[in-house]
Structure 1
Amino acid sequence: MPLQSDSVATPTINRPRLPKHAPRVVAVDARSLTQTGKGVPRFLAETLRELASQDALKLILFSNRPLHPGHALPPIETVIDTTWARVPGSLWVMARLNTLALQAGADTIWGPAHLLPRRRADLRSVLTVHDLVHRIMPESMGTWNRRIAKWLVEPSIHRADRIVTVSVATRDDVLLLVQPARRDIDVVYLGTRTLSPNEVAITRTKITPDAPYLFSLGSIEPRKNIDGLLRCFKRLQTHCPTLSLRLTGAHSWGASATLAAIERNDACHLLGFLSDTELAAQMAGARAFIMPSHYEGFGLPVIEAIGLAPIIAADIPVFRELGQFIDGIHFVDFTDPDAAAADIAAFLATNPTPAKFVNGGSELFQWRTTARRYAEIFLADCAPLHP
């Protein structure tokens, strides 16, 4: 039976104040760190790495499965609840996380990936919302994930003491679609590690393409619009016959038709798993990095391509938001493949240079900035902080 949502109005809870000089103990739902990859695992690992140096915070990681060793986190206390390893992670959060957090002496609980356990008067809660795919593109999700989002994510949003979204676009979606009465949502952007000019030069030496290519990074799933990119690229080949397309990303559900379409075009190349160094090299060697998504909560690869390649992005709200801080991003409407192909061909004919940050973006989109904002939120009382 679906779990019922809490009331939209957030009740006032009187919690004991911390003793002077005592660190705030934050219990972190670390299930995302059981896997590697971009998105939430990258966000959580990088933010924790920066937060670990905060003397005013004590972080404790909780999971019902072992964390992936590839994250190379600094020493942070970690609790693996192995007796519950066979339970789906979302249900483990609801059944166990509050108890484990209190046993460890936590006063704050952080759900970095959309989910919080039931409200407790002795635990302050902070929730990170990355997107609202289940509301905006439910058809792009599997049945189980869609049901979990409906039954657990939206109630988590309602009961959180503090909500953090990764973009203004996602904040606006939360206000429009889930909790219109709430006005205390913090926006904290994700980060990247900016390469120095020397590092970029070295990265470029790692790849020597024999022909020009576009590079795309994203899961093979409906929301990423790889099908739309393939239709556009087929027409683009009439404008740029020597151009090829390189793609990499996990294969999600419903990917078989897309994979078959990639195989049918000899100029399309599906790359296997790439390390961060290999990804940077592919971006640096490309005529442009291209991201055709129908919907994103943020779009981390766009930020990671800065300094390495010109960027071609779908004309969607969150990319327009990020575009305020980027010189060298070109927006394309992928709904019309012919027009999109002509638009991209004209952009490439200008011999664009790699995108760069403007308007303070080089400092705003750093993991240390992301961590600083989260530290402020963890250490504050329940009143919102605004950028």
Structure 2
Amino acid sequence: MSAPLRVGLTVEQLWQPVPGGSGTYITRLLESLARRLDVEPVGLAAAHRPGPVPEGVPDVPVRSLRAPRRLLYEAWNRWGAPRPEWLVHGLDVVHATTWAVPPTRRPLVVTVHDLAFLRDPSHFTPHGVAFFTRALRRTLDEAAAVIVPSRATAVDVVEAGFAPDRVHVVPHGAPGWTWTPDELTTFRSTHSLPDRFVLWCGTFEPRKNLGGLLQAFAIAADADPDLHLVLVGPRGWGERPAAPRGPWTDRVHELGRLSTEDLRLAYVAARALAFPSFWEGFGLPVLEAMSVGTPVVTSRETSMAEVAADAGVLVDPRDADALAAGLLRAVGPDHDALAAAALRQAAAFTWDAAADATAEVYRSVAGQA
């Protein structure tokens, strides 16, 4: 067997205050890559003061590129330095797992999670749009291959100027969670959760369409007086929309950010997940919920519909009445059939399969230096 490919993967996202779905992607992909014999993964991070390692940093070597994050990203974009191969010897491939793209003379692979900032820049901060746009231009110029998590994102990437043969669709994997009845009982008690609730989880930001969900819940709650809505996730940017006033207002609960362990139990406890984002590159919460048998209501004609397929309830996220009807279907008489279909659909997505496909991309570019 030939020597394993030494691949430097950016992991700095794991030190962000809100690592989000990109952080989950980095953690799970690296865990699967580290079990392989044909790839030797090395994490690439900015300089950090000594202290506790953030949740989610996998057990692989992580090398510091000797500059704080803000300075490092600025140097990469403006001056083309420092290159990872200057500090980590023997690299065969460099993999930018987010829009933070290192300059390198080695073959460069970039994961493009989505191009939502091109679809509607108003859903992002001006600084974020400028950073993403610069990274997109550099990726067009410098990347040997681009990995995307869905066919929907592949279409966007090709429309942005990438040749189709540079674009590789590698879906995310399901988490493979387990739990016990005692864990679930304790979780419900700790957070004073109602018996029947719809879960929403994500970072609070405009493209997540939380305002639309709150409007839909107000409609659904009139028809189902025992139904509650539980919101999980950290504040991102923008104001959290207020729920329409009415007798259902006290049935909207906000738990804030949960640990991965508690988020797992929130999915299990929920009667259904509502994830009506206007656009996502993949929509990992859809797959996470389905993997524990929780029915999903999500947005049609998006990557989330691609993941959920016939196992989910697909609606127009801009139509509050349609979204409300979807919620009532998922928590009502179709619940059990949707739950069984969700488990079957989620079983097709694994992180080992994602690592297989990613390693194949590495092999395809390794000889292009």
AA in 2 matched with 1:161: A
For the pair 1:337 / 2:320, whether they are aligned, the reply is yes
1:313 corresponds to: 298
Among candidates 11, 28, 31, match of residue 9 of structure 2: 28
Among candidates 36, 43, 48, match of residue 61 of structure 1: 43
Identity of aligned residues (%): 25
2:307 corresponds to: 322
**For the structure 1 residues 154 and 194, does the alpha-carbon distance in structure 2 shift closer, same or farther, using more than 3 Å as the test?**
same
Aligned mates of 2:2, 2:40 — CA distance in 1: 12
TM-fit CA distance, 1:230: 0.6
Aligned mates of 2:204, 2:173 — CA distance in 1: 23
1:107 corresponds to: 92
Where structure 1 has 5 or more consecutive residues not aligned to the other structure, the ranges are 1-19
More displaced, 302-311 or 217-226?
Answer: 302-311
TM-fit CA distance, 1:280: 2.2
More displaced, 101-110 or 182-191?
Answer: 101-110
Normalized per residue, which structure has more helix? 2
1:39-68 deviation line (CA, Å, top 9, x unaligned): 111111111111113233222222213394
Aligned mates of 2:302, 2:283 — CA distance in 1: 11
For the pair 1:192 / 2:178, whether they are aligned, the reply is no
Aligned mates of 2:269, 2:183 — CA distance in 1: 9
TM-fit CA distance, 1:87: 3.3
TM-fit CA distance, 1:303: 0.5
Is contact 1:31–1:89 with CA below 8 Å preserved after alignment?
A: no
Alignment of 1:77-92 (within 5 A): 77-82=61-66, 84-85=67-68, 87-92=70-75
For the pair 1:226 / 2:214, whether they are aligned, the reply is no
Is contact 2:84–2:102 with CA below 8 Å preserved after alignment?
A: no
1:96-131 deviation line (CA, Å, top 9, x unaligned): 6653324422121111113434463xx111111100
2:130 corresponds to: 147
Q: Counterpart of 1:297 in 2: which secondary structure?
A: coil
For the pair 1:356 / 2:342, whether they are aligned, the reply is yes
AA in 2 matched with 1:85: P
**For the structure 1 residues 234 and 169, does the alpha-carbon distance in structure 2 shift closer, same or farther, using more than 3 Å as the test?**
same
Aligned mates of 1:21, 1:53 — CA distance in 2: 16
Aligned mates of 1:150, 1:252 — CA distance in 2: 20
Is contact 1:114–1:153 with CA below 8 Å preserved after alignment?
A: yes
1:245 corresponds to: 229
2:56 corresponds to: 71
**For the structure 1 residues 245 and 23, does the alpha-carbon distance in structure 2 shift closer, same or farther, using more than 3 Å as the test?**
same
Q: Counterpart of 2:110 in 1: which secondary structure?
A: strand
Aligned mates of 1:86, 1:155 — CA distance in 2: 18
For the pair 1:371 / 2:355, whether they are aligned, the reply is yes
**For the structure 1 residues 315 and 152, does the alpha-carbon distance in structure 2 shift closer, same or farther, using more than 3 Å as the test?**
same
Aligned mates of 1:296, 1:38 — CA distance in 2: 12
1:13 corresponds to: none
For the pair 1:297 / 2:281, whether they are aligned, the reply is yes
**For the structure 1 residues 314 and 87, does the alpha-carbon distance in structure 2 shift closer, same or farther, using more than 3 Å as the test?**
closer
AA in 2 matched with 1:73: P
Please give the TM-score of this superposition, normalised by the length of structure 2: 0.86
More displaced, 298-307 or 25-34?
Answer: 25-34
AA in 2 matched with 1:149: F
Is contact 1:107–1:124 with CA below 8 Å preserved after alignment?
A: yes
2:267 corresponds to: 283
**For the structure 1 residues 276 and 119, does the alpha-carbon distance in structure 2 shift closer, same or farther, using more than 3 Å as the test?**
closer
